[in-house]
Structure formats: structure tokens, C-alpha cells
Homo-oligomer: A and B are copies of this chain.
Amino acid sequence: MAKPKAHRQNRQYDDDDEFTTCNWMEYVLVVVLSCSLLVAALILVLFWTLYSGVGYGWREGNFEKQFNLHPTLMIAGFVTLSGFSMLLYRISRCCRHIFVKLFHTFFHILAIPCIALGFYAVFDSKMLQSHNHFYSLHSWMGLVTMGMFALQFVFGFFSFLVLLCCEGATAACRAAFVPIHASFGTTIFMLAVATCLTGLTQKSSKLYNYSEISKKNEVIIVNALAMVLVALGIVLSYVVNRHSLRANKGSIISERL
């Protein structure tokens, strides 16, 4: 029976070696590309507000200023912070898993006030203008995404942090939850991207109907932002599904839950 064991050891060594020589390039490329796109989305939405010359504000009589908080905060919360949180969890290779989990939670906790304030900014702005609420597809999708985000956060917090208080007894239960949490996390990110795209489509359609050239040029910024979000959807789903990019594949299972 010694031969197969030795073979397995060699195989393990080959796998490790294979990562160091071949997959490092893919790993570095994916990390750089994902981080660049996550930051680019935030920079583009800030640049869009500056370019439009409106800026930000709260109840200053200019509803457009208050409305501008909505895309900026939603992209910051649902895309940049949540995206960094997912990316960090999947690819972090430098510290203990419990710290990776805490950072994953911390980034999501930072996302919550962004999302809440982003939602309240547009809700309050529409209330002040006595506009109709929740008729558009974008708002329906936004509500579904926020509901799923809240459920996922509460479920994840209790399952993977609170249940650690009795680590041994809950290991099997947490192990069963991992793929469900991962699958729903990716789905929520994709849904958030799709919701952003419907919102940007609404804005883009409105801007295209203006006669001013500056408004028509804004369409290019909005579409560029949308294409960055599309690229993010493609790259992040690749990162999450690509087994070879996962950190510490060989670590003990109870450490990974």
C-alpha cells in the first residue's frame, strides 16, 4: 500500500508546484483586474456627478443633488464594498481563516449604511416631490436585492460567526450552509449589478432625450460605468467559480466554515 500513498504525496506536490509556476499569473491577473474594476466603478460614478456639475446635497431645494447620492452610495455599498468582501474571502492567502471571515463581515457591515442611506436618499427625494413610488422595474428589483442582502447578512452572521461559540457541535451544520451561502452571495451580487444596469438604462434614456450636447455626453459616462459593471459581473463570477484560485484548499475543513 506504500506506492499509492507515495503517488498521492507526489501528486499533492505536483499540484502545489503547478500553482506556483502556472496559476500565479492567472491569480495576479484576476486580482489586479477585479480590484481595478471595483475601484473604477466607484471613480466613474463620482466623476459622473462632478461632470454633470450638480454635486451632492441633502434637502437644499435641489432634488437632483440629493438624488445623486443614490447611485454613488448604492454602487459603493452593493458593488465596491460587497465585491471587495467576496474577493477578499476567495483569494486571501496571508492570514488565518477567522480573520478573513471577520474582514468579510466588516466590509459587508460598511456596505449596510451606504445601502440604507442610498435607498433613503431617493425615497425622501421622491416623497418631497410627491412623485409616484415603486412603479419602475428598477425599484422592484432594488427591493428584492435589498431584501435578499439583509437575509443573507443575518443568516451568514449567525451561521458562520455566532454558531462558532459551540464550534464542534455545529461543524456539520455550518458545512452544509457553506455552498448555499456562497451560491446566494454570488446571485445577490449579480442581481445588484443587474439592478444598477436597469437604473443606468433609465438615466441613459432620459439623458438622450435632452437637446444639450453636455447631457448627451453624459450618456457615454453612464454607458461606460455600465460596461465596467458588466465586466465586474463576468470577472467576479469567474473568480468565485474557479476552484484553482481558492485559498488554502488543503486546510482542515472546520477552519474553513
Binding site for B on A (CB under 8 A): 1, 135-138, 140-141, 144, 179, 182-184, 186-187, 190-191, 193-194, 197-198, 200-202, 204-206, 208, 219, 222-223, 226-227, 230, 233-234, 237-238, 241-243
Q: At the interface, is chain A mostly helix, strand, loop or mixed?
A: helix
With most chain B CB atoms within 10 A of its CB, the pick from A179, A183, A198, A200 is A198
Asked if B242 and A179 make an inter-chain contact with CB atoms under 8 angstroms apart, the answer reads yes
Given known A238-B183, A243-B179, contact A201–B137 (CB-CB < 8 A): yes
Supply 15 further A-B pairs (C-beta < 8 A) apart from A186-B237, A187-B234, A190-B237: A136-B223, A137-B223, A138-B201, A140-B226, A140-B227, A141-B226, A141-B227, A144-B230, A179-B242, A190-B190, A193-B194, A198-B198, A201-B201, A201-B205, A202-B205
Say how far A143's CB is from chain B's closest CB, in angstroms: 11
**Closest residue to A241 on the B side, CB-wise?**
B183
Chain B residue nearest in CB terms to A231: B144
Give A202 Cβ to nearest chain B Cβ, in Å.
Answer: 6
A144 CA to B229 CA, complexed, in Å:
13
Query: A136–B201 contact, CB under 8 A?
Result: yes
Kindly list chain B residues whose C-beta atoms are within 8 Å of the C-beta of A238.
Answer: 183-184, 187
Determine whether the beta carbon of A137 is less than 8 Å from that of B222: yes
